[in-house]
Structure formats: structure tokens, C-alpha cells
């Protein structure tokens, strides 16, 4: 016998089930939800969610933004989350802006990591600089190298021309 949904009858809201994108699904476009989403397939676009789980077979190309992000698959793009976790099977190529982060041994990560009190409000249009500006230590600067045009180059390989006339 089926039980009636007492939560619906009382008017209280129940937490919706997480959305699941299976391994055989490819989405080209952006995804936005206030709930939870688990990606096992391919997404070419940005994702915004409350909780985002990037499954081991997932491949995401785009920015992901969520309160809580768990990556076990592949992400190419910026990651912004209050809590970000890269598991041992994670492959991330892009910058991570976070409040807290955990990276397990074995995870592959190429990019920069930046801590922010509110990473969700960090402007998506403001790229993270690729290199940091050096800080002066007061030490004298190293001597400059000679310009590349004055560096002697080895002779090209091949026969040596004869000077016979």
C-alpha cells in the first residue's frame, strides 16, 4: 500500500532529488539549478548549482559555480565554490576560486588556486592573472642577460664552402 506524501499535504517543501546526467548524455549549453546535480556525461557549457558532483566518467568544458563541488572526473575551465574537493581521480585544467579546498593525493590539477571569502560573487568576467607580480625584497636585481641577437649561434650543419678561386 502506498503512503500518502504527508509533506506535500502539510505544505512543507521537501528537498528535490538531485538531477543526474548519465554517461551517454552530451549537453551543449549552460545548466542552472538551485538544487543538486550529478554529471556523469559531457557538458560543453557553464554549470551553476547548489551541490555539483562531477562523476568519474564526466567531462565538463566550462565554468562551474556551486556552494559545494566534488570533482572525480575531468573539468576544463574555472571552478568557483565555497567548498571544493578534488578526489584522487580528478583532472582539473583551470583556476579554482574557493573558500575551503581539499585535494586528495593522485588528483591532477593545472591552474592557480585562490582563496576568497565569497568565491560565488567573484566576477566571472574578471580573469585571474596567470602570473603574480614579483614582490620586491630590497635585494639588488640580478644582472640582465645579453640580448639574444648578440649570443653567438653555432654554424649551420652541412658542407663547408671552399675558398678556392
pTM exceeds cut of 0.85:
no
Per-residue pLDDT of the chain (165 residues; tens, 9 = 90+): 444 444 445 555 677 788 999 999 999 999 999 999 999 999 999 999 999 999 999 999 999 999 999 999 999 999 999 999 999 999 999 999 999 999 999 999 999 999 999 999 855 444 444 433 333 334 444 444 444 444 444 554 555 555 555
Number of neighbouring beta carbons within 10 Å of residue 114: 15
CA distance 60 to 39: 9
For the chain, domain boundaries: 17-117
| Enclosing H/E stretch for 109 | strand 108-110
Classify the phi-psi angles of 107: left when phi > 0, otherwise alpha if psi is within -120 to 50, otherwise beta. beta
Amino acid at each position: 500500500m502506498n503512503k500518502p506524501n504527508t509533506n506535500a499535504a502539510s505544505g512543507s517543501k521537501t528537498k528535490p532529488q538531485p538531477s543526474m546526467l548519465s554517461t551517454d548524455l552530451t549537453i551543449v549549453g549552460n545548466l542552472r539549478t538551485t538544487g543538486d546535480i550529478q554529471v556523469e556525461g559531457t557538458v560543453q557549457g557553464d554549470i551553476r548549482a547548489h551541490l555539483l558532483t562531477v562523476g568519474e566518467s564526466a567531462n565538463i568544458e566550462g565554468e562551474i559555480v556551486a556552494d559545494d563541488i566534488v570533482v572525480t572526473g575531468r573539468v576544463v575551465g574555472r571552478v568557483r565554490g565555497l567548498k571544493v574537493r578534488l578526489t584522487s581521480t580528478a583532472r582539473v585544467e583551470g583556476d579554482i576560486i574557493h573558500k575551503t579546498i581539499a585535494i586528495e593525493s593522485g588528483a591532477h590539477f593545472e591552474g592557480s588556486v585562490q582563496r576568497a571569502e565569497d568565491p560565488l560573487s567573484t566576477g566571472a568576467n574578471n580573469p585571474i592573472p596567470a602570473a603574480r607580480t614579483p614582490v620586491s625584497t630590497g635585494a639588488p636585481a640580478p644582472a640582465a642577460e645579453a640580448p639574444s641577437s648578440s649570443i653567438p649561434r653555432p654554424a649551420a650543419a652541412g658542407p663547408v664552402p671552399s675558398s678556392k678561386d
